[in-house]
Structures are given as structure tokens and as C-alpha cells.
Structure 1
Amino acid sequence: MSDSSVHLVDRGRVYADMGYVLDGYSMGSASNPNPDHETAEFVVWNAVVDGPDQTLLWDTGSNPKAGDGYWPAPLYDAFSHVDAAEHTLEADLDAVGYSLSDIDGVVMSHLHLDHAGGLEAFAGSDVPIYVHEEELKFAYYSAKTTKGSIAYLASDFDHDLNWRIVHGDEHTLFDGFRLYHLPGHTPGVMGAHIETPEGDVLIAGDECYVEGNYADEIPLGPGLLWSDRHWFDSLQKVKELERRTGGDVLFGHDLDRFRSFGSGWNV
């Protein structure tokens, strides 16, 4: 059993239509051709994993200038991070008792703009930035061409960073902290299994935005899904990990789920 702790870091709120998150949520029909749409409140979060010999940061949140023209206007209109300006990485880390200088490494679940917006804080340093091979390739392909996805911004990750590339399906960072490749939302999403004295933590991340993606196996909406087939296979991988470990499953943006875990585990 690893003597690790997982500190949850609240990085603010995003408002978006539930139809983006749960496929078919507000689809019209012959009897109801114009259904009501529901805008929901979602959380952006990071985590500090304090291990026996190193302290790792999970993701870096949105750039504080997201609502000031930094994010593409169509994307911000669909996913409004309304309080991004109030949530700098340095201030939010300080709120849970850490500083940037405490961070020995950063694990990027993926490089979408609500996860990679704080990477510039580590530019020019020797802090390792762990990212899956498939994610880094797709991020650059998307940001540097007119193909791929609008959700990648070169200004988030095209810095002098100490990239550490994760290959394959699994990667152990240290005893009690293992990464898993979970393609579907993007080609290179990573989740994690973290052991703590208070129980195991399973980070599903954006493989499952909310409870409905996991419990009801409803896919993400088409705008958030790179591959439906890969998404389903990754979902089964997370569910098998839960059956095997009994761990708490942490979703990518589910506010109620995030709040249910309080400050984290072993904190």
C-alpha cells in the first residue's frame, strides 16, 4: 500500500449544454420536435498526488484568459469557463497548501485547452511533463493544421517543456501510481489508479465527463468523441479496474461527484 495522498484542486466552473456531454440527451422526435435544452454546471479540477518521494500535479486547468479571447469564440460560446480569470494555477495550488515549486512532475490526462492551460508555468524548467504519445501527436496535428480538433491550442503546450512520453497501455510512475491509456474522448487520454491508505482512487477523467457516461454507459456527445469504439473499450477497462480494486472513480467534470470526495484522499 502506497502512503500517498490525493489533494483535489478546484479550478472553477464551466457551463455547457448537456447534449454535448450525454449523446442524444435532447434529441428531437416526431412527438417533440423542439425539446428543451438544459445548460449544466461542470467543474474543472486538478489534483496533487503527494507520493513517498515526489509530488505530482494532475493536469493544469484552463488559461485564466479563456474568457478574454484566448479560447476560440465558438468554443467558449459552447463551453463557458465563466470564472477562469479567478483561478490561476498558482493561487489554486496555494489554496490546498502547495506552490509551483513543490511540483516535481506534471501528468497530462490530455491536452485539451481546459486541461493544458497552465503548462506555460513549467516552460524552461526541468519538471517532467508526462503525456501519452498518441495525445501529443494529435494535439500538434490539431493545433498546427486545419484538421483534428479545435480544442487544442498551440499556445497552451508549444513551449520549452520537458516532455516525458508515455507509450502503450500502462505506465507506472511509482509504486501505487499507475497510468492507463483510455482513448475515446481523444486518441491519448490517460487515466490512473492511485493507492492511498484511505482506499484506491481511479481517475477516469474525460473518458467519463459525468456519472451518466459511466453508470449508464451513454457515450459523450459527438463533439466530444474522437472514437465511439475506443471510448466503449476504455470504459470497460475503467469498470474492470473498479471491480478489481473497489476504488473511488473520479470523473472528468461531474461537479456533484467532485464535491462528494471533499478535499481528497489521505489529506
Structure 2
Amino acid sequence: MADVSVTLLDRGRVRADRNYVVDGHAMASASNPDPDHELEEFVVWSAVVETPETTYLWDTGSHPDAGDGYWPAPLYDAFEHVDAGDHDLEADLADAGFVLSDVDAVVMSHLHLDHAGGLYHFDGTDVPVYVHEEELKFAYYSAKTTEGSIAYLASDFDRDLNWEVVHRHRHTLAPGFELYHLPGHTPGVLGAHLDTDEGPLLIAGDECYVDANYVEEVPLGPGLLWSERDWFESLETVKELERRSDASVLYGHDLERFDALAERWG
């Protein structure tokens, strides 16, 4: 087995309507014209992946000033990261026994504001920041024009960063650490398959926010879905990887699943 270890980092809670995350969760009908909506807590997380040669940081979480005007008001109203100020990257790394200088490279699953908000820590450094080609293109397109998605903030990633662009559908970072292109939520979502001493771990990331997206195959809500067709194809990729390796699957924001896996990879 490859010598890979994973430490999951809890980066706080976002409160949002479950309808954003599970398409059609609360739909009005003739018999139920005013359905109840569920305001749910979703986890934001990062991970430290240690290999014999390199220590990687997976995602950087939200900017600590998300609730103090850094995030646009309409976005924060819909996706309230209630404790972002309590989850500075350096502090959360320290709680897990790491310091920022331990990070040799960063892997960005994608560049939405709840994942890229800590990239400023690597501004002006030579730390490689891995991102898929399609994600980097779409992030700049979205942040610099009126097209694309409003979930990208140029201030998160339009910096002096040492980008390492992933071009293919599969990329080996280290023995036992494979990246997979999983478009759907955005054009360039990256997931990963990791062979660890605690068993195989499959990071689906925001391909699946919660268990219902994966088990019941209910797509994300339209506001969180760039391409439904690509999303379904990526879902099949993740399920095939799970079947091959019997891996535990980690979703992008499912609090219950995160807590369960953090007991094993924490």
C-alpha cells in the first residue's frame, strides 16, 4: 500500500436551504402549495494529505471575513458561513498539529468562494497550486465578466500564485494519490482517490454535496449545477471508482458523512 495519510480539517458551517443542494427537495404542488423549507447546516472542510515526498493541502476554505462584507451580500444571505471568522486556515491547521509552512503544495477541488478563500496565504510564494484547466478558465470568465457563475470572487484567486494546471481527466500526484476530473457542479471540479493506511478514500468533493446526491442520484439544485449531463457522467465515474476499490466516499458538504470519516481520518 502507498504511504499516504489524510487528516480532515473542519472549517466551519454554512447554513442554506436544502433545495439548493438537493434538486426539488421542497416543491409546491396542488395538494401542498406551501411546503416547509429546511434550513440545514453544511460542513466546509479541508484536508492535509501527507506522502513521503510532499505534504498537500486540499482546498483552503472560506475567507475569514466572509460574513463581514467579503462575500457579496446576496450570496452570504443564501449561503451563510456563520463561523468563518473562527476558522482561519492557519488556526485550523494548528489545531490539527500543522503549520502553514508544512504545506508543500495546494490542490484546489475548484475555485468557488467557500473553497478558495484561503489562497491569499500562498500569494507571492512558490507553493504549487494545482487546479484543472477548465476550472481556472471558468473562474476568471465568471469573476471578470457578467457571464458564468457568481460564486467566484476574483479577490480569492486573482493573485500571484504558482499555478500548476491539470489538463487531463486523470493525474497522478504521488503513488496512491490520483486526481480525477469530475465536471458537473463546475467545469473543472477535481476529485481524488487515495490509498491510505486506514483504507482507500474517495473524495467526490462538490460533485456530491450530500448523501442524497450520491445514493439517490438526485442532482444538485440548478443554481449549483453547471451541467446536469456532465454531473451524471461524473457520478458514474465516482461510483465505478468506489466499486473497484471499495473506498469510503467523502462528499463536499455532508456534515454527518464528514463527522463519520473524520473519526477515521482525523
- Normalising by structure 1, what TM-score? 0.99
Q: What is aligned with 2:214?
A: 214
Give SS of 2:262's match: coil
- CA displacement at 1:262 relative to structure 2: 2.5
Partner of 2:20: 20
CA distance in 1: counterparts of 2:264 and 2:253, whole angstroms? 15
Partner AA of 1:193 in structure 2: H
Q: Which ranges of structure 1 fall in alignment gaps of 5 or more residues?
A: none
> Is this contact kept in 2: 1:132–1:189, CA < 8 A?
yes
What does 1:46-85 correspond to in 2, within 5 Å? 46-85=46-85
Q: Percent same amino acid at aligned positions?
A: 71
Q: Which string of whole-angstrom CA distances, capped at 9 and with x for unpartnered residues, describes residues 220-240 of structure 1?
A: 000000000000000000000
Deviation at 1:52, TM superposition (A): 1.1
Shift of 1:181: 0.2
What is the letter of the counterpart of residue 142 of structure 2? S
Question: Which residue of structure 2 aligns with residue 179 of structure 1?
Answer: 179
Q: Which runs of 5+ in 2 are unaligned?
A: none
Work out whether 1:228 is the aligned partner of 2:215: no
Cα gap change, 1:123/1:263 in structure 2, threshold over 3 Å: closer, same or farther? farther
Give the distance between the partners of 1:158 and 1:263, measured in 2 at CA.
Answer: 36
| In 2, Cα distance between equivalents of 1:262 and 1:132 | 26
Aligned length: 266
Partner letter of residue 51 of structure 1? T
Question: Over aligned residue pairs, what C-alpha RMSD do you find?
Answer: 0.7
* 1:49-74 superposed Cα distances (whole Å, 9 cap, x missing partner): 01111100000000000001110111
SS of aligned partner of 2:37: coil
List, as ranges, runs of 4+ consecutive aligned residues in structure 1 with deviation greater than 6 Å: none
1:126 paired residue number: 126
1:149 counterpart = 2:149:
yes
User: In the TM superposition, what is the alpha-carbon distance from 1:4 to its structure 2 partner?
Assistant: 1.0
Give the structure-2-normalised TM-score. Answer: 0.99
Q: Which amino acid is the alignment partner of residue 103 of structure 1?
A: V
Do residues 189 (structure 1) and 192 (structure 2) align? no
Query: C-alpha offsets along residues 74-100 of structure 1, whole Å, 9 cap, x if unaligned?
Result: 110000000000100000000101111
